[in-house]
Amino acid sequence: MNQLQEALNGVVTAEMKEISQAEDIAPELVRQRTEKGQIIILKGRFRERKTVGIGSGLRTKINASIGTSTDVCDIDHEVRKAVIAEKHGADTLMELSAAGDLDEVRRQVLQAVSLPVGNVPLYQAFCETIRKHRDPSKMDPEFLFDLIEKQCSDGIAFMAIHCGINLFTIERMKKQGYRYGGLCSKGGTLMIQWMMKNHRENPLFEHFDRVCDILKKYDTVLSLGNGIRAGAIHDSLDRAQMAELILNCELCEIARNNGCQAMVEGPGHVPLDEIEANIILQKKMSANAPYYMLGPLPTDVGAGWDHVTAAIGAAQSSMYGADLICYITPAEHLALPNEEDVAVGVKVARLAAHIGDVVKLKGKADQTDKKISMDRRDFKWNELFKNLLFPEDARKILESRRSLSRKGCSMCGELCALKNAEVTLNEYLSQDKKNV
């Protein structure tokens, strides 16, 4: 049985206990929230694999995405990027290759990391259809379902599947007319093209029960893909995007009732004043299912620095209740990320998620901040480094620019406020003792 079925039977699994210990939350509470679909459990299937809980009452998790493109296709490079993402603290990984031997890329990445790995099955389905027929509209739905099962059996822990694109949501897109950012989802756009050329319903929506049955069998979590997400802040919360979000929340409930773990994916590009509203809508319509936010980016002017742009949106998202954040790298909108981009993207996203968690998990996430503040006050550098998110980076900066005093840092030197406050306090205490 899968994790959801075990939870429904009242069983606290080993994975639930692992999450309980990692997150400082009661095992029974993990089980109850898994039963309600408010927590999902992702895990690998080979060797010693990491178990990750995502959802209500848990730390906001970070996903890193890698994958080949038709312009840059180097399997070894993608494997190195996967390893780097894990090294720097990503909680999950999405393997999004769209070129080369896609089975081989997936299997090598799965063997290289202990993280739960996700993917988008439509990528391989359309890539192989284009290779064979030179036309994505000739994709055979049976081939797509066979591919989903093959990828699950390989060990994929979660799948972004575009079930919420249907004839109704496409009609909303047509009727609203112009979109500033167009369509930005590769899988979503190709599925819309397939539907329009074949005059058929999306098979992933039409046969949604079949999708659930396959994923349930392998305990692969369904991530309801946001194929009509906003690719520009001026498209945020438009009718087409909202139609898909409503449908995805409904499908999430159906999946849970069918014994399949599920979460909902969110946008994309969202101005700051709409992030909270977006999360409130998703949480209310899905009975508090985990929400996987792609970014979000609250402005469109930051290319080259979109990892920072996204961090601002991610911190807000985490604070308001998002459960999983997809990192954005400096290469976003410009190029396929390299190894350094992946490292930077993971670090910035982790920092943003923690900023949100300080508010969302107040009394838990902020205790590390309190300890660091006291160690900084008392010049306990080694203790401070133990609790930093990026201790190696911090130590490197400190040691390369050491203060001559060797106690404080070179920012203030002899004028260090903390050091002088310590002297003043000691003098005050000494004087106080004399007066006694």
Angle between helices 339-360 and 75-87 (to 10 degrees): 30
Write the CA distances from 207 to 138, 169, 210, 428, 430, integer angstroms.
18, 17, 5, 76, 79
Q: Which residues, 6+ apart, have CB-to-CB distance to 308 below 8 Å? A: 302, 348
Q: What's the chain's average pLDDT? A: 94
Q: Identify the band that residue 181 occupies on the pLDDT scale cut at 50, 70 and 90.
A: very high
Averaged pLDDT, 162-189: 92
Domain positions in the chain: 3-360, 367-435
Percentage of the chain with pLDDT > 90? 86
Residue 88 DSSP symbol: T
Q: Provide mean pLDDT across the span 331-335.
A: 96
Q: Name the percent of the chain lying above pLDDT 70.
A: 96
CA pair distance 221, 40, nearest whole angstrom: 7
**Number of neighbouring beta carbons within 10 Å of residue 256:** 23
pLDDT at 75 over 60: yes
Distances 89 to 6, 8, 40, 49 between C-alpha atoms, Å: 29, 32, 20, 15
What local confidence, expressed as pLDDT, does residue 135 receive? 96
Query: When comparing pLDDT for 144 and 184, which is higher?
Result: 144
pLDDT of residue 178: 78
Task: State residue 405's pLDDT score.
Answer: 64
- The pLDDT value recorded for residue 404 is 61
Residue 355 has pLDDT above 80, yes or no: yes
Q: What's the pLDDT at 423?
A: 66
Integer Cα distance of 269 and 266 in angstroms = 10
Instruction: Dump the DSSP string for 307-321.
Output: HHHHHHHHHHHHHHT
Instruction: State yes or no: pLDDT of 433 exceeds 60.
Output: no
264, 246 in Cβ contact below 8 A? no
- Beta-ladder partners of 40: 54
Does residue 205 surpass a pLDDT of 90?
yes
A 10 A CB-CB count for 9 gives 10
Reported as a pLDDT band with limits 50, 70 and 90, residue 415 is: confident
- Overall average pLDDT of the 173-177 stretch: 89
pLDDT at 407: 74
pLDDT value of residue 427: 63
Contacts of 137 (CB under 8 A, 6+ apart): 193, 194, 197, 198
Picking from 216, 262, 220, the residue whose alpha carbon sits closest to that of residue 37 is 262
CA distances from 68 to 65, 77, 94, 134, 388 (A): 11, 9, 12, 19, 33
Of 358, 397, 354, 350, the residue nearest 85 (C-alpha): 350
Q: How confident is the model at residue 426 (pLDDT cuts 50, 70, 90)?
A: low
138, two tokens = 């000739």
Q: What is the pLDDT of residue 422?
A: 72
Average pLDDT, integer, range 49-65:
97
CATH architecture of 3-360: Alpha-Beta Barrel (3.20)
Would you say residue 409 has pLDDT above 90?
Answer: no
Would you say residue 434 has pLDDT above 60?
no
Q: What is the pLDDT of residue 412?
A: 82
Interior angle at CA 120, CA 47 and CA 345, nearest 5: 75
Q: How far apart are CA 311 and CA 305, in angstroms?
A: 10
What is the rounded CA–CA span in Å between residue 270 and residue 309? 11
Q: Averaged over 98-102, what is the pLDDT?
A: 96
d(CA 405, CA 2): 59
pTM of the full structure: 0.94
**pLDDT tens digits, 226-280:** 999 999 999 999 999 999 999 999 999 999 999 999 999 999 999 999 999 999 9
3-state helix, strand, coil in the chain (%, to 5): 55, 10, 35
How much is the pLDDT for 430?
63
